[in-house]
Amino acid sequence: MKKSESIAALAKSLSQFQAKVKQPLKDKDNPFFKSKYVPLENVVEAITETSGEFGLSFIQFPLNDANGRVGITTLLMHESGEWIESEPIFATPAKQDAQGAGSVITYLKRYSLSAIFGITSDEDDDGNSAQLPSQNSQPAYHGSQNSSLITEAQLKALNSSISTAAKRTNTDVSQVTDYAKQTFNIPVSVENKSLTKAQASQMIDFINQLQPAQQKQVG
């Protein structure tokens, strides 16, 4: 994280903002869990309705790298001139075109913005909230603690999404599984039941977007 020399005024205003902000309604369905999440437009609306009162504003910058990944960095600003810039977060689009990149950018914007402003954009009790990376890389595998392991419901949803994607892309389940793990820097040797809740959620979201045109990528 980068920041201005002092963030005293920004920190005070952010604290006041978080005490007053109205958390947005989770009104979008996650197809794999009996849960809902907040779309990007509702996150932005919740922030802008209150942030101006405390002199807070933000800018988000899309990024890309030589590996075909797209990313986002978020700059939180205060009217005093103080600022905090988040570390870039990256992910690989499921499809290498404008639509695929746009989908990933929207996803990353929502998580980055929610994190920096303290917005609860996902329900946490079913393991459907992602842990975003913080060091200029894709989500990486770091092992897991028992308390954060994939749930039975997630495991069933993950296996179902893999099977459906394999049929949709005319590949086999191992190819789909390996492709998804490689995208998120998870060793292919890691069993699905050993994934964390966050990793499982990320893989399910990613696999659900795979389309027949990606057959060559998956294979």
Position 95 confidence tier, pLDDT thresholds 50, 70, 90: low
Q: For residue range 198-218, what is the model confidence (pLDDT) as tens digits?
A: 888 889 988 888 766 433 444
The arithmetic mean of pLDDT across residues 74-83, rounded, is 98
Contacts of 63 by beta carbon, 8 Å cutoff, 6+ apart:
70, 71, 72, 73, 88, 90
Question: Which of 88-97, 108-117, 137-146 has the highest mean predicted lDDT (pLDDT)?
Answer: 108-117
pLDDT at position 212, please?
62
Position 94 confidence tier, pLDDT thresholds 50, 70, 90: low
* Strand extents, DSSP E, 45-192: 56-64, 70-78, 83-85, 89-91
How do the domains of the chain map onto residue ranges?
1-137, 139-219
Q: Provide the token pair at 14.
A: 């952010």
Q: For residue range 122-162, what is the model confidence (pLDDT) as tens digits?
A: 554 433 333 333 333 344 444 544 458 899 999 999 989 88
